[in-house]
Amino acid sequence: MRALRVGDDALLVEASSGEEAQALHAELLRRRAAGALTVREIVPAARTVLLDGVDDPARRAAELTAARVPEVPSRARELIELPVRYDGPDLAAVAGRWGVTEREAARIHAGTEFTVAFCGFAPGFGYLTGLPDRYDVPRRATPRTAVPAGAVALAGPYTGVYPRSSPGGWQLIGTTDAVLWDHARVPAALLAPGARVRFVPVEGA
Amino acid sequence: MTDRALVVVRAGALTTVQDRGRPGYAHLGVPRSGALDPSAAALVNRLVGNPPDAAVLETTLDGCALRPRSSVTVAVGGAPCPVSVGGRPAAWGAPVVVPPGELLEVGTATAGVRGYVAVCGGIAVEPVLGSRATDLLSGLGPAPLAVGMVLPLGVPAGPPARVDGVPQPRPPAELVLRVTPGPRDDWFTARAVRDLTTRVYRVAAASNRIGLRTEGPVLERARPGELPSEGMVLGAVQVPPDGRPVVFLADHPTTGGYPVIAVVRAADLPAAAQALPGTPVRFVPVRRR
């Protein structure tokens, strides 16, 4: 791992893979909970974890460069089930790329255990990993001006669920009625980094 | 129904409710938000006897006009501007009493961009994740002010400050932003890194609460492509494909895929929030603390 200084009081820790970044994130949360780390924000992303507002960044950088992070036992992490109808307008195109039928594409997606690698784009929008590399799909050539809330979508290696209606370029494969973001709820975000997610097919409209 | 409220008579170009924002939720994709010029917001709060984290109004260039339903003490600060109460000139940068039903007019800034209006008791809209700030990137917090909107006020915490006014820094003619290099300066040519800190940029008109956009020498990349998304900090100098640096302000996205060539010291960001389009900008390299 490599820790890059960011401004006066932040560190960007680079991992060698997405999995290592997730393990590092879990380890940093443990250290903060144990009182061994004072930091304002811990922001995981695709291959990095940002520590913003960290005490003694120079010392932390040295510490983290030398650190080995234990793997995260998956059963220790919360499992969230999202009901889904595989009725998205891009399901046929995605199935075509995968070389399978739409029904089989839905079966593959629903048979995968995902992990919330990180959040971004909008409050409560999680970037979920878990599908094997061969199922990567490109973004749409032309983004939609409005993607409905609850749309289950794919782009690159990620699955995401739109927390609210917004423009978007991801491939829409389904719909969930789960409320991804509700600022009056505690917690506001249904999906937080590190959580496990399964999509559970439901019948009907 | 309470009398402690303000009615919006003129909303101005963009007037939002702001406080110290909602730090601590970046991992959920929630920007920190909050006043772009926190010291000006804290000062007007002090002038009306509010705690420093009370919610204030942040105006953009042309002020706003408000009518309180009960007598309130207000203070206008940040970008200097004319202030009037019931058509009579009133003090800027000092506590002013507005009688019930009288019009408080916050005029067009004579320098700077963002004005701050504190009202004793604070703007008491419902907080979201611990903050009343309007976040224009993600849409959290109250909508920007609109004519006819009624803003509830909180209960005054204490008496207004016993000063007539306090000096406030005037927006500078030239914006000097101290930067530390990285974390992605190695994504740029040596010349680009040199250009950033030796050439003059100008504040672009497209600047907003998300970022201070600049016009000037295009910063050339040493490597193509995008970074995998990574966490972004306040003050990050991000360089999109057009090569023109953008300084991230309070409503910045929490993650991004364009490389950050340098980071501006937080202490210099209030001045960035007050710099008019066309203002010259110099990025000055400093050693990390």
According to the model, what pLDDT value does residue A68 have?
Answer: 82
Q: Is residue B167 part of a domain?
A: no
- The answer to whether B231 contacts A124, with C-beta atoms less than 8 Å apart, is no
Inter-residue contact B197 to B278 (CB < 8 Å): no
Which SS3 state, helix, strand or coil, does residue B231 take?
strand
- Give the model's confidence band at A65: pLDDT under 50 very low, under 70 low, under 90 confident, else very high: confident
Cβ–Cβ gap A50/B253 under 8 Å: no
In this complex, the residue of A8, A12, A124 whose CB is nearest that of residue B183 is A12
The rounded radius of gyration (Å) of the Cα atoms in chain B is 20
- Please give the residue range of the domain that contains residue B247: 175-285
Distance in angstroms (rounded) separating the CA atoms of residues A49 and A17: 11
Contact A123 B138 (CB under 8 A): yes
For the purposes of burial, counting CB atoms within 10 Å of the CB of A9, is it exposed (0-12), middle (13-18) or buried (19 or more)? buried
CA pair distance B195, B155, nearest whole angstrom: 52
A193 at interface of B, judged by CB pairs closer than 8 A: yes
Q: What is the pLDDT along chain B (289 residues), one digit of tens a residue?
A: 468 999 999 999 999 999 999 999 999 999 999 999 999 999 999 999 999 999 999 999 999 999 999 999 999 999 999 999 999 999 999 999 999 999 999 999 999 999 999 999 999 999 999 999 999 999 999 999 999 999 999 998 877 777 666 667 777 789 999 999 999 999 999 999 999 999 999 999 999 999 999 999 999 999 988 899 999 999 999 999 999 999 999 999 999 999 999 999 999 999 999 999 999 999 999 998 7
At B70, phi and psi to the nearest 5? -135, 170
Digit-coded pLDDT (tens) for A85-125: 999 999 999 999 999 999 999 999 999 999 999 999 899 99
What's the CA gap between B284 and B273, in Å, rounded?
Answer: 18
Q: Are residues B199 and B147 part of one domain?
A: no
Contact B236 A6 (CB under 8 A): yes
- 3-state SS of chain A: helix, strand, coil percent to 5? 25, 35, 40
* DSSP labels, B239-288: --TT---EEE-TT--SEESS-EEEEE-GGGHHHHHTPPTT-EEEEEE---
A172 close contact with B: CB closer than 8 A? no
Query: What total of structural domains would you count in chain B?
Result: 2
pLDDT band at residue A75 under the 50/70/90 scheme: confident
Rounded to whole angstroms, how far apart are CA atoms B41 and B118?
Answer: 8
Q: What CATH architecture does domain A76-201 belong to?
A: Beta Barrel (2.40)
Note whether B186 and B232 are same-domain residues: yes
pTM over 0.90: yes
Let me know if residue B239 belongs to a domain.
Answer: yes
Q: Do both B78 and B185 map to the same domain? A: no
Residue B160 lies in a domain: no
CB contact under 8 A, B29 and A122: yes
Identical fold for domains A2-72 and A76-201, yes or no, is no
**Pair (B136, B190) in one structural domain:** no
Distance CA B265, CA B250 (A): 13
Residue A47 touches chain B, beta carbons under 8 Å: yes
Q: Where are the domains of chain A?
A: 2-72, 76-201
Q: Tell me which chain B residues have a C-beta less than 8 angstroms from the C-beta of A164.
A: 139
Q: Tell me the nearest-neighbour CA distance from B59 into chain A, angstroms.
A: 25
Residues of B with CB under 8 A from a CB of A: 23-30, 128-129, 138-140, 180, 182-183, 228-233, 235-236, 253-255, 260, 263-266, 288-289
Domain with residue B219: its CATH number is 2.40.100.10
Best B33, B125, B180, B233 member to test A by mutation, with max A CBs in 10 Å, is B233
Flag whether B117 is in a domain. Answer: yes
pLDDT, position A204: 62
B202 in the same domain as B277: yes
A42 close to B (CB below 8 A): yes
d(CA B235, CA B226): 20
- CB A65: neighbour CB atoms within 10 A? 12
CATH number of A2-72: 3.30.1360.40
**Alpha carbons B273 and B248: distance in angstroms, whole number:** 11
Do B133 and B20 reside in the same domain of the chain?
A: yes
